[in-house]
Amino acid sequence: MSTDLQGRVALVTGAGRGIGRAVSLALARSGARVVLAARTAGQIDAVASEIARLGGEALAVPADVSHEPDVSALFGRVRERFQGRLDVLVNNAGVGIYGPLDTFAAGDFDRVLAVNLRGTFLCCREAMNLMEPRKAGWIVNVSSVVGFKGYPNQAAYTASKHGIMGLTKSLAVEAQPYGIRVSAVLPGGVDTELASAARPDLDRAALLQPEDIAQAVLYLLSLSDRAAVDQIYIRRRTSAPF
C-alpha cells in the first residue's frame, strides 16, 4: 500500500514490540516522523534504530500511558520537537491479565483498565489539544475482537476494549467539527506475546501478523478528506465472521 505521509508527525503508544512496532515501521516507511512511546526504553530505542536505518526520523520517549504525568511529558516532547504538530495518534499500548472472574483480583482489574482504557483516554485528550488548532488529524485506537464479543477468563481485558469502543464512538462525534477523524481497529488473533498469553490454544501459524494491522492503519490514513471510517474488524480467515 502506498501512503504518502512525508513530513507528518505520528505518535504510537506501545511501540516497542508487536503491533506497535509494525505500525511504527510502516508509518516511517511512508515518510512520517514517528514518536515511539512505551514503558521499556530499550525496546523503543531498538525500533528507533530500525527506523534510522530506513532513513527515517524517530523520537523514543519512555512513558507509562496509565500515568498522567508521563502522558503530559510525552506530549510535551512532541510540542518541543515538532512545534506542537501532531497528525496521527495510534493508541496501541495495552496489557492483558487473564483468569476466571470469581477469583480475579481487583488490583489486576484496575491495572488492565488503567493501561488500556485510561491510557487511551489520556492520550486522546492530549492529542485533541494539539490537533484542534490545526483543524486536522487522525486518531486510531487499537481495540480487539473482544471489543464486541466475549471469551471466558478475559473479563477485564474485554471490559477495557468495550470501553475503548465507547470512547472512540463518542470522540469521533466530538472531533468531527475540528476536521479530526477517529477510528478503531479491532483485530482478531494476532501473533503477539499478548495473544499467546490470552489464547495458548491457538495455532500461531494461523494467526494474523502485526504487519496486517499496520496495513489497516495505513489504509485509514490513505483515505481522502471526504471519507471517514468508524471501525475496521480484521479477523483470521480461519475464524468465524462473528
Q: Domain for residue 242, yes or no?
A: no
**Interstrand relation of 9-13 and 88-91 (parallel, antiparallel or unpaired):** parallel
Catalytic residue numbers read 157
Q: How many domains does the chain have?
A: 1
In whole angstroms, give the CA distance from residue 1 to residue 178: 28
pTM, 2 dp: 0.93
Q: Domain for residue 1, yes or no?
A: no
Q: Domain for residue 101, yes or no?
A: yes
Q: Domain for residue 177, yes or no?
A: yes
Q: Domain for residue 223, yes or no?
A: yes
Q: Domain for residue 240, yes or no?
A: no
Could you read off the pLDDT of 118-148 as tens digits, one per residue? 999 999 999 999 999 999 999 999 999 999 9
Q: Domain for residue 100, yes or no?
A: yes
Domain range for 27:
9-234
Could you read off the pLDDT of 62-118 as tens digits, one per residue? 999 999 999 999 999 999 999 999 999 999 999 999 999 999 999 999 999 999 999
Q: Domain for residue 2, yes or no?
A: no
CATH number at residue 182: 3.40.50.720
